Amino acid sequence: MSGECVKRKKVLFIAYVFPPISGSGVQRSLKFIKYLRNYGWEPVVVTVGDTKAAFFDETLFSDIPEGIEIIRINRPGIIDDFYVNELFNVYSKIVPVNILNEYISIINKYKLINLNWLLLPDVHIPWANEVIKEIHKYCNFDEIDLIYSTSGPYSDHIIGYYLKKEYNKPWVADFRDEWTNNPMIKPNKKNIVYIVLREMEKKIVEFADKIITTTDGAASNYKKIFNLKDDKVVTITNGYDEEDFKEISLGKNKSNNKDNEKDQNKRFTIIHNGVLYGNRSPIPFINVIKNLVDGNKISKDKIVVYFAYTDKDEEYKAYIKERGLEECIQFSGYLSHKESLKKASNADLLLLIIGEEEKWKTVHAGKVFEYLRLCKPIMGLSPKGSVTEELLTETGRGKNFDFSDYEGMESYILEIYEKWQEDKLNACILKDYKINEDIIKFERKNLTKKLADVFNELIHHKKFLESIKNKIKEKKAIIGIIGLGYVGLPLALTFAESGYRVIGFDKDEKKIVKINEEKVSYIKHIHDSRVKNSVENGRLFATSDLSKVENLDAIILCLPTPLNKYREPDLSFVINSVNGILPFLKKGQLISLESTTYPGTTEEEIIPKIEKRGFKIGKDFFVVYSPEREDPGNLNFTTKTVPKVVGGATKTCLEIGVSLYESVIEEVVPVNSLKAAELTKLLENIYRAVNIGLVNEMKIVADKMGIDIWEVIKAASTKPFGFTPFYPGPGLGGHCIPIDPFYLTWKAKEYGICTKFIELAGEVNTMMPFWVVDKVVEGLNNSEKSLKNSNILVLGLSYKKNIDDTRESPSVELIKILKSKGANVFFSDPYIKKFPKKRKCFFDLESIEITAENLEKMDCVLISTDHDAFDFDFILRHSKLIVDTRGVYRGSYENVIKA
């Protein structure tokens, strides 16, 4: 891209370490800046103005392309108590309050007023604070497409964090070194400073849109430690800039005549380029040289070793002097980048000291790539299995040794030395050390392209997400509801009524005809007019053709989740349906599962199938779980007014899920994970099952003691807190409360947990119909009748009042038991004309009318479901015996037995 004709995108490039500050870290930022324009990006650099730094190098400026905007913001003048308070305000936005309070209390307790204790994450935070405060004066954020920050110092990321929050731009955080897991430090993990920094790092890596590390080892540490998704972390290694090597030829550069270069030509020359600091020690290497010299394997005047800058020159010089090696081991001090490369180009062997401990395994020193391009043998010192060892082996450029492997180091030095002595080294380098693909991939230009690719992907992703959200906002999204039952139909109507176009899917053709052609509802408590209106205004259409899924923006699954005959979860409806729609899924769609199920279902059963189709969850496909709370027949709440819990597979999934539901439901409650949302639903239903079990047990106790349980519940309910009333009945019914708890029981077994409350409530509730039948027997007995051949009328067939749903209804169970004992059973239900066909049992019964004549024919009337439509006074007047399981009759009547 020429960049002249196409407008470049702008990246705000936050880098404290920027020319004239030099040192190892600056190269990465400098070269990115140098090449970003080649890939369509214009950097706007934010760096420090006046500063002190260990190394300055004015020559670095020549690498910065003309016209690059550099915003320089000064550090603050004085850091007084006021200023420190300001900084604590910054911390408070990024560190959890309890941890920050603990930190403050420790500072106060031990009077830690030293700035080292107060400046977090490092001494550059006052500068970062100035940037946060001042940047808006220098930068028009409407023109910025993306924010990039690079560490160290880690304060750079604090700026990134704030700016992303404030301006809502994609943010890339580049870690040139790991932070709290940095091999350079050995933190006490209980120390409060470590804890605070760890929290900062966590917030930053979670909030940034992309994390960049310089090695795959560091990337996998980040993923592991902070539980980040694979594609959140990208490795972009350090590299070399081909332009820096213009004047450097392969092999030894003999053209120069300066004294030490002549010396380099006369003696076998080992060079450690760049800086050596912290816990990276040259001592083992010095010992190896000592052994070679003492063992007469290399004569002192035949070898010279150069170190550039080290932070302990004096200590090392003394060590070398004690061993009589001062002639052949020298320290040149800090050199400019150009000078240092030139010097290194005359080496016969390049030395690379990474570090001794295991943690150094994940570190490449930046210089290694320049070493590779210098085409010289390299001797690395790092733990076995390190990324450096891998790199040297892959490129065939050298060998790595761990710090104790003196023998290995000696023999490798000797191997190269002997070639040098026989004057074969140069020829060997020219022949074997070519600049091939393995090396070119580390060219800074190529690595900058990789960075630009990361930027482009984020920008593209942001636009993509915005387009989805806009579709939702403008109600242009097409919603698909799969499963048009008790949950699916009202949900479809709610979306349609709020202005969406909805396609309803069901495999039951009868439901499709009812909706599309008859335009009526097939669920009692849903009014026909709702269906008619939505169909007629073109907002609702039903089909069994799954290929229409490809037209959808959101797919909501409302499919049955029953138990199988072993009382284990039967997910076959959900799984079959997902399999059915898989071929028609496309990028940008959202799937929401609403069926009740155990924690882990969405993650284990749905996501892998979608991923297998090549979609990336949270990137180009979105998955949420949002439990349905529809309460059939409840006139006080509608789908719109019951708060909706949503959990997402990723943050972005959650964002999109919430925006969809928010557009039709008054209150949406986001939770942090799919599993949390799944368990929320189960907790609600288990809570009901257990409490109903408890009150049923209390009913039996109260009955034996001659106490009226209904009076007791009424009295207990006057307590304004801490008591929620539940009512006894003939048992538990419905598709949900008797079944859902066992989804958790099943899953809990996987974790070795036995859900005792659930089992116990199940037992109590299941035996209720038997207890009720015993009460019928007792009542008949009082009139000297047997159950056998008695006429029993069961009032209400549905599982609860005012609905027409008979799933798991205790009335059905009662009929079954009564029939098995030889009773003549009848039923009456205003909403159910015929006993429905059921898998487990069927009785050829039709609802009878409640007339005086019919009631008088009965030996017992058993109130199982207390529909409001029943005239209970009339029933009381005309029945010989009533067994009341629902507390309909609160006074005491001769012909009523409470059960």
Ligand X SMILES: CC(=O)N[C@H]1[C@@H](OP(=O)(O)OP(=O)(O)OC[C@H]2O[C@@H](n3ccc(=O)[nH]c3=O)[C@H](O)[C@@H]2O)O[C@H](C(=O)O)[C@@H](O)[C@@H]1O
Residues interacting with ligand X, by CB under 6 A?
Answer: 596, 628-632, 685, 688, 692, 726-727, 729, 732-734, 736-737, 799-800
Task: Give every CB contact of residue 525 below 8 A, 6+ residues apart in sequence.
Answer: 632, 633, 802, 803
Residue where the block lists tokens 């009589």: 324
Burial grade of 405 (CB within 10 A; 0-12, 13-18, 19 or more) = middle
The binder of ligand NAI chosen from 19, 485, 599, 762 (CB under 6 A): 485
Interaction of residue 469 with ligand NAI, rule CB under 6 A = no
CA 741/CA 749 separation, integer angstroms: 13
872 binds, options ligand NAI, ligand X, none, Cβ within 5 to 8 A by partner type = none
Provide the minimum distance between the beta carbon of 792 and ligand X in the complex, in angstroms, as a whole number: 20
Provide the minimum distance between the beta carbon of 574 and ligand NAI in the complex, in angstroms, as a whole number: 8
Provide the minimum distance between the beta carbon of 726 and ligand X in the complex, in angstroms, as a whole number: 4
Segment 286-345, which members bind ligand NAI (CB under 6 A)?
none
* Angle at the Cα of 835 from the Cα atoms of 832 and 837, rounded to 5 degrees: 120
* Dihedral over alpha carbons 227, 229, 231, 234 (to 10 degrees): 0
Total residues contacting ligand NAI (rule CB under 6 A)? 27
Provide the minimum distance between the beta carbon of 508 and ligand NAI in the complex, in angstroms, as a whole number: 4
Interaction of residue 363 with ligand NAI, rule CB under 6 A = no
Burial grade of 422 (CB within 10 A; 0-12, 13-18, 19 or more) = exposed
508 binds, options ligand NAI, ligand X, none, Cβ within 5 to 8 A by partner type = ligand NAI
Residue where the block lists tokens 């010089």: 317
User: Stretches 71-79, 440-448, 555-563, 866-874: which one binds ligand NAI (CB under 6 A)?
Assistant: 555-563
Interaction of residue 522 with ligand NAI, rule CB under 6 A = no
User: Stretches 100-108, 118-126, 404-412, 477-485: which one binds ligand NAI (CB under 6 A)?
Assistant: 477-485
CA 344/CA 376 separation, integer angstroms: 9
CA 828/CA 865 separation, integer angstroms: 10
3-state secondary structure of 233: strand
492 binds, options ligand X, ligand NAI, none, Cβ within 5 to 8 A by partner type = none
Backbone phi, then psi, for 499, in 5-degree steps? 110, -5
727 binds, options ligand NAI, ligand X, none, Cβ within 5 to 8 A by partner type = ligand X
CA 821/CA 823 separation, integer angstroms: 6
Cβ distance 573 to 487 under 8 Å? no
CA 482/CA 542 separation, integer angstroms: 10
Q: Give 523 or 863: the residue with its C-beta nearer to ligand NAI.
A: 523
Q: How far lies 612's CA from each of 133, 461, 618, 811, in Å?
A: 47, 21, 15, 46
Q: Give 601 or 864: the residue with its C-beta nearer to ligand NAI.
A: 601
830 binds, options ligand X, ligand NAI, none, Cβ within 5 to 8 A by partner type = none
Q: Give 167 or 573: the residue with its C-beta nearer to ligand X.
A: 573
Interaction of residue 121 with ligand NAI, rule CB under 6 A = no
3-state secondary structure of 593: strand
558 binds, options ligand NAI, ligand X, none, Cβ within 5 to 8 A by partner type = ligand NAI
595 binds, options ligand X, ligand NAI, none, Cβ within 5 to 8 A by partner type = ligand NAI
Token pair belonging to 681: 């639903």
Q: Give 103 or 799: the residue with its C-beta nearer to ligand X.
A: 799
Cβ distance 484 to 506 under 8 Å? yes
CA 534/CA 812 separation, integer angstroms: 35
User: Stretches 288-296, 447-455, 553-561, 635-643: which one binds ligand NAI (CB under 6 A)?
Assistant: 553-561
Please state the three-class secondary structure of 526-547 as a single string. Answer: CCHHHHHHHHHCCCEEEECCHH
* β-pair partners for 186: none
Q: Which amino acid is at 521?
A: S
Q: Which amino acid is at 859?
A: D
Q: Give 448 or 561: the residue with its C-beta nearer to ligand X.
A: 561
733 binds, options ligand X, ligand NAI, none, Cβ within 5 to 8 A by partner type = ligand X
Q: Give 236 or 737: the residue with its C-beta nearer to ligand NAI.
A: 737
Interaction of residue 486 with ligand NAI, rule CB under 6 A = yes
* DSSP state at residue 850: -
Alpha-helix residue ranges (DSSP H) falling in 208-308: 216-226, 259-266, 283-294
Helix, strand, coil percent content, the chain, rounded in steps of 5 = 45, 15, 40
The binder of ligand NAI chosen from 28, 511, 539, 800 (CB under 6 A): 511
Interaction of residue 487 with ligand NAI, rule CB under 6 A = yes
Provide the minimum distance between the beta carbon of 730 and ligand X in the complex, in angstroms, as a whole number: 8
Q: Which residue among the candidates 139, 558, 736, 860 is catalytic per the annotation?
A: 736
Q: Give 151 or 806: the residue with its C-beta nearer to ligand X.
A: 806
Point out the residue whose Cβ comes nearest to ligand X.
Answer: 736
For residue 856, the Cα-to-chain-centroid distance in whole angstroms is: 66
Q: Give the chain's length.
A: 899
The binder of ligand NAI chosen from 170, 483, 569, 762 (CB under 6 A): 483
796 binds, options ligand X, ligand NAI, none, Cβ within 5 to 8 A by partner type = none
Q: Give 337 or 886: the residue with its C-beta nearer to ligand X.
A: 886
Provide the minimum distance between the beta carbon of 866 and ligand NAI in the complex, in angstroms, as a whole number: 19
Burial grade of 161 (CB within 10 A; 0-12, 13-18, 19 or more) = buried
* β-pair partners for 793: 826, 861
Question: What is the contact mask toward ligand NAI in residues 566 to 605, using x (rule: CB under 6 A)?
Answer: -------x--xx----------------xxx---------
CA 32/CA 64 separation, integer angstroms: 10
Q: Give 599 or 632: the residue with its C-beta nearer to ligand X.
A: 632
The binder of ligand NAI chosen from 365, 368, 482, 549 (CB under 6 A): 482
Provide the minimum distance between the beta carbon of 799 and ligand X in the complex, in angstroms, as a whole number: 4
Point out the residue whose Cβ comes nearest to ligand NAI.
Answer: 485
732 binds, options ligand NAI, ligand X, none, Cβ within 5 to 8 A by partner type = ligand X
Interaction of residue 507 with ligand NAI, rule CB under 6 A = yes
Segment 623-642, which members bind ligand NAI (CB under 6 A)?
628, 630, 632
Q: Give 284 or 633: the residue with its C-beta nearer to ligand X.
A: 633
Burial grade of 315 (CB within 10 A; 0-12, 13-18, 19 or more) = exposed
Cβ distance 459 to 145 under 8 Å? yes
Cβ distance 793 to 858 under 8 Å? yes
* Angle at the Cα of 667 from the Cα atoms of 663 and 669, rounded to 5 degrees: 105
737 binds, options ligand NAI, ligand X, none, Cβ within 5 to 8 A by partner type = ligand X
Token pair belonging to 859: 């030996």
Token pair belonging to 94: 């990024």
139 is catalytic: no
Provide the minimum distance between the beta carbon of 899 and ligand X in the complex, in angstroms, as a whole number: 13
CA 17/CA 328 separation, integer angstroms: 34
Q: Give 198 or 688: the residue with its C-beta nearer to ligand NAI.
A: 688
Q: Which amino acid is at 577?
A: S
User: Stretches 107-115, 302-310, 482-490, 793-801: which one binds ligand NAI (CB under 6 A)?
Assistant: 482-490
Provide the minimum distance between the beta carbon of 628 and ligand X in the complex, in angstroms, as a whole number: 6
Question: Among 367, 371, 365, 368, which Cα is nearest to 248's?
Answer: 371
Q: Give 345 or 685: the residue with its C-beta nearer to ligand X.
A: 685
Q: Give 47 or 596: the residue with its C-beta nearer to ligand NAI.
A: 596
Provide the minimum distance between the beta carbon of 592 and ligand NAI in the complex, in angstroms, as a whole number: 12
Supply the residues annotated as catalytic: 736
Binding residues vs ligand NAI (CB under 6 A)? 482-488, 505-508, 511, 558-561, 573, 576-577, 594-596, 628, 630, 632, 735-736
